[in-house]
Amino acid sequence: MTAISVDIKQMGAAARAASRRLAASQSSVRNGALNAIASKLLEHEPEILAANEKDIAAARESGLGEHVIDRMVLNHDRIQAMADACGEIAALPDPIGVVLEERTMPNGLEIQRISVPLGVIGVIFESRPNVTIDITALCLKSGNGVILRGGKEALGANTVLARIAREAVKSVGLPEDVVQFVSTTDRALVGEMLSLDRYIDLIIPRGSAELVRFVGENATMPAITGGVGVCHTYVDAAADLDKALKVVVNAKTERPTVCNAMDTLLVHSSVADEFLPQLAREFGVSNVEMRADGKAMAALQDIATGVRVVPAQSDDFGQEFLALIAAVKVVDSMDEAMDHISEFGSGHSEAIITEDSETAERFLAEVDAAAVFANASTYFNDGGQFGLGAEVAISTSKLHARGPMGLREITTYKWVVRGNGQVRT
């Protein structure tokens, strides 16, 4: 074992021990820590910005693309936003100690099911330094210790941010070891972190599909698999085509690089000839490439040039594009659409556009995904949009949490039984 191995194991053990004290702390103390982080962020703004500038200079030198650098950039507004997020999370109701159910049994045992922290959460994330603060705030609020491992591009800023968080935790009398930051980006460390099931209760990868897959396959502790969305929108025979146009364009173009963006459009054959040319014109304006199956190509044959329409290849269906590309397929029934979704979807976000409420209800009931939508954009699948407050991740796992994961989703529960000497015979 190298020195590094010992360090991360020690971090795990320290986080585990400290998390027991955090779990037993008062809600007001944990909120105090969040508010302390908020003030310290503003106090240390020059130091944070200086570290961030160094990171960016190094990133430019190593030839990283401007879209990555754009996500890394911190400035006064972004630091203020991080501080505001801490304050907002502090103001949310305490997710732990909630009595989820209770009953008194005939033998007099009083049984409660009560929400408690998970323990220690490991988070592996990529370029955006604000994740360091967001995740730390959510973990502290919910009584969980956290081990953070950020991307190498943002190491300088992340190091300062994690130090500030630890100082804030200490300033309210909580053990600073509840926040651990892995200050090297040695790749081997990720593997070691994934082996620490003794200390880490849940691991959350936030980043590329590749990272999520690697973590899912190699973690010895439970991992949230999510963030990969192959999302469909089905425009039904009974759709209001104006609504359909608006919703499909929003789901594809508003933020094409996120997991809840539409990837494949399914259109009922009875409306394809009317709908697809209208859509192609809108997509032309937004520079969306359409990868159309045979029937969709036929419906699009007469449209003006300037619209990018190419024949779909077989691997276009079931692909998460994360770009201004949409696969398009014409179907003859909702059943065909649902079968397609069942085969190619990733269980993330699936939508139907229809004015026929019976059809809508069947789709909502039968399509198996974290979130199903009638007459709304898949882009709404988000903790904030669902009223959960901040979110840690969007899960496509079926167990534990599905869809947006807010504070409640990083807690567990325990059964608390109060008796008076009862025995079971």
Closer to its own copies by CB, 57 or 417: give it: 417
Which amino acid appears at position 300 of this protein? L
Instruction: Name which of 222 and 318 has its Cβ closer to its own copies.
Output: 222
Residue 190: CB minimum distance to its own copies, A = 20
Alpha carbons 135 and 138: distance in angstroms, whole number? 5
What are the structure tokens assigned to 407, written together? 């504070």
Task: Output the smallest distance, CB 40 to its own copies, in A.
Answer: 29
Q: Which of 125, 151, 124, 121 is nearest to 139 (CA)?
A: 121
Give the DSSP letter of residue 255. S
CB of 351 to its own copies, least distance (A): 8
Beta carbon nearer to its own copies, 66 or 358: 358
Contact present, 172 and 206 (Cβ < 8 Å): no
Nearer to its own copies, 127 or 397 (CB): 397
Question: Between residues 38 and 271, which has the closer beta carbon with respect to its own copies?
Answer: 271
Our CB check for its own copies shows the closer of 161 and 334 to be 334
Nearer to its own copies by Cβ, of 113 and 170: the residue is: 113
Q: Shortest distance, CB of residue 335 to its own copies, whole angstroms?
A: 11
- Taking alpha carbons only, the member of 156, 159, 181, 128 closest to residue 58 is 156
Minimum distance of its own copies from residue 37's CB (angstroms): 26
Start-end of H helices in 115-208: 130-141, 155-171, 188-194
CA 144 to CA 257: how far, in whole Å?
30
DSSP assignments along 52-107, one per residue: HHHHHHHHHHTT--HHHHHHH---HHHHHHHHHHHHHHHHSPP-SS-EEEEEE-TT
Nearest to 326 by CA among 295, 280, 369: 280
Cβ distance to its own copies smaller for residue 165 or 251: 251
CB of residue 375 to its own copies, shortest distance in Å: 4
Q: Smallest gap, in angstroms, from Cβ of residue 56 to its own copies? A: 29
Given the complex with its own copies, which of 194 and 371 has the nearer CB atom?
371
Q: How far is the CB of 97 from its own copies (least distance, A)?
A: 9
Q: Which residues contact 167 (CB under 8 A, 6 or more apart)?
A: 40, 176
Residue type, 69: I
Q: What's the CA gap between 189 and 186, in Å, rounded?
A: 6
DSSP secondary structure of 215-241: HHHH-SS-B--B----EEEEE-TT--H
Q: Output the CA torsion 57→63→65→68 (10° steps).
A: -50
User: Which residues here bind its own copies, judged by CB under 8 A?
Assistant: 20, 23-24, 103, 105, 109, 111, 116, 118-119, 201-202, 222, 240, 242-243, 246-247, 249-251, 254, 342, 360, 364-366, 368-377, 379-382, 385-387, 397-400, 402-404, 412-425
If one counts every other C-beta atom within 10 angstroms of the C-beta of residue 114, the result is: 16
CB of 350 to its own copies, least distance (A): 10
CB of 390 to its own copies, least distance (A): 16
**Smallest distance from its own copies to CB 111, Å:** 6
- Single out the residue of 37, 254, 242 nearest to residue 137, CA to CA: 37
Residue 42: count other Cβ atoms within 10 Å of its Cβ: 13
Which is closer to its own copies, CB of 163 or CB of 281? 281
For residues 334-372, b (16+ Cβ closer than 10 Å) or e, as one string? bebbbebbeebbbbbbbbbbbeeeebbebbeeebebbbb
Q: Which is nearer to its own copies, 202 or 299 (CB)?
A: 202
